[in-house]
Amino acid sequence: MGRSLPGWKQNLSVYSECRVTLPCNFQFHRFPFGSHVCNGTFYFLKAAVEMMWKRKTTVDDAEYNGDSNLLDFRLVNVTSETAVTPLTDGKELTFLVISLHLQSLFDYHLLNSFGPSALMFVICYATLFIPISDFNERIMVSLTAMLVLAALFSQATDSYVKTPYFKLIDIWYAIIIALCFIIVLVNVGVNRVRLQGGYEALEGVPKERGRADWTNMVCKILILLVFVILVLVFALFAAEIV
């Protein structure tokens, strides 16, 4: 004698393993900061006919046991979403969407891009504290720092992802180089003011010296203020507040 058990009284689980390549179209305007989502869609044409598709919730957290550090990104979470779409002939199409939630890793760029470029700006900015009579030292150090920044920018563009639009790291380098160029112009302008009317006068301090010192002081405050604002804005982008 034998026994039979109807199929609707028992659950049958099928496990399938496959390897796929997903074309993730990321938007890197915030690079090297920001969060990204990569979606992969799987269609089950015969799911409504040959099996019953069960879902616990609309969006489930998938299990992932691999390494979460993926070069420039960190895998934060993997979610799955299922849905049933009715077709024109009365049938249904079941599809599964796997979403990879990624977070950009900016630690590397902090040490290799933002840190060295900020240090070169500090060196260039320090020329404003050199006595205004030492024009050669002021202009040579500021020009050298600006040239080093340009070389760092050219080297950095070869190490990160290439896009047809500007990224945050490109804007950072552009502003830092522009600030260094402004410092070079300030050094030239202060020296020009210093030489007007004869800075080497023997009696007293000429009026032009006071104007040169005042101009140099105002430029130091304004340039430092712009740099601090720039750092704060990028910190807000890194924290994804803006």
Global pTM reads 0.76
Q: Give the count of domains, the chain.
A: 2
Q: List per-residue pLDDT tens for the chain, 242 residues long.
A: 566 766 666 776 777 777 888 788 888 888 888 888 888 887 766 655 555 555 555 667 777 888 888 878 889 888 888 777 777 766 677 777 888 899 888 888 888 889 999 999 999 999 999 998 899 999 999 999 999 999 999 888 877 888 888 889 999 999 999 999 999 999 999 998 888 755 444 445 555 567 888 989 999 999 999 999 999 998 898 887 87
Instruction: Say yes or no: 149 and 76 in one domain.
Output: no
In Å, the largest CA–CA distance within the chain is 126
Q: Which residues pair with 113 in a beta bridge?
A: none
Q: CA-to-CA distance for 39 and 25, rounded, in angstroms?
A: 9
Q: Output the pLDDT for position 9.
A: 67
Q: Output the pLDDT for position 80.
A: 83
Q: Output the pLDDT for position 97.
A: 84
Answer yes or no: is 15 within a domain: no
Q: Residue 186 is part of a domain; what is its CATH number?
A: 1.20.58.390
Q: Output the pLDDT for position 207.
A: 54
Q: Output the pLDDT for position 203.
A: 47
Instruction: Say yes or no: 98 and 211 in one domain.
Output: no
In b/e form, how buried is each residue of 63-73, taking b as 16+ CB within 10 angstroms? Answer: eeeeeeeeebb
Q: CA-to-CA distance for 155 and 44, rounded, in angstroms?
A: 47
Instruction: Say yes or no: 116 and 220 in one domain.
Output: yes
**CA-to-CA dists, residue 96 to 5, 62, 120, angstroms:** 31, 12, 51
Cβ–Cβ < 8 Å for 58, 119? no
Residue after which a domain boundary falls, among 104, 128, 146: 104
Answer yes or no: is 78 within a domain: yes
Cis upstream peptide for 131 (omega within 30°):
no
Answer yes or no: is 4 within a domain: no
Answer yes or no: is 98 within a domain: yes
Nearest alpha carbon to residue 239 among 28, 35, 75: 35
SS3 label, residue 217: helix
Instruction: Say yes or no: 56 and 117 in one domain.
Output: no
Instruction: Say yes or no: 100 and 121 in one domain.
Output: no
Answer yes or no: is 11 within a domain: no
Output the CA torsion sign for 150, 154, 159, 163.
Answer: positive
Answer yes or no: is 81 within a domain: yes
SS3 label, residue 53: coil
Instruction: Say yes or no: 170 and 232 in one domain.
Output: yes
Instruction: Say yes or no: 146 and 176 in one domain.
Output: yes
Cβ–Cβ < 8 Å for 153, 166? no
Q: Output the pLDDT for position 208.
A: 56
Q: What is the H or E stretch that residue 186 is in?
A: helix 168-195
Q: CA-to-CA distance for 215 and 231, rounded, in angstroms?
A: 25
Instruction: Record the tokens describing residue 50, joined without a space.
Output: 């040959």
Q: Output the pLDDT for position 45.
A: 64
Instruction: Say yes or no: 190 and 77 in one domain.
Output: no
Q: Output the pLDDT for position 40.
A: 85
Answer yes or no: is 3 within a domain: no
Cβ–Cβ < 8 Å for 84, 92? yes
Q: Output the pLDDT for position 217.
A: 93
Residue after which a domain boundary falls, among 68, 89, 104: 104
Instruction: Say yes or no: 115 and 199 in one domain.
Output: yes
Residue after which a domain boundary falls, among 54, 74, 104: 104
Instruction: Say yes or no: 141 and 227 in one domain.
Output: yes
- Residue 55 belongs to domain spanning: 23-104
DSSP-derived secondary structure letter, 45? T
Instruction: Say yes or no: 184 and 231 in one domain.
Output: yes
Answer yes or no: is 188 within a domain: yes
Q: What is the H or E stretch that residue 92 is in?
A: strand 92-104
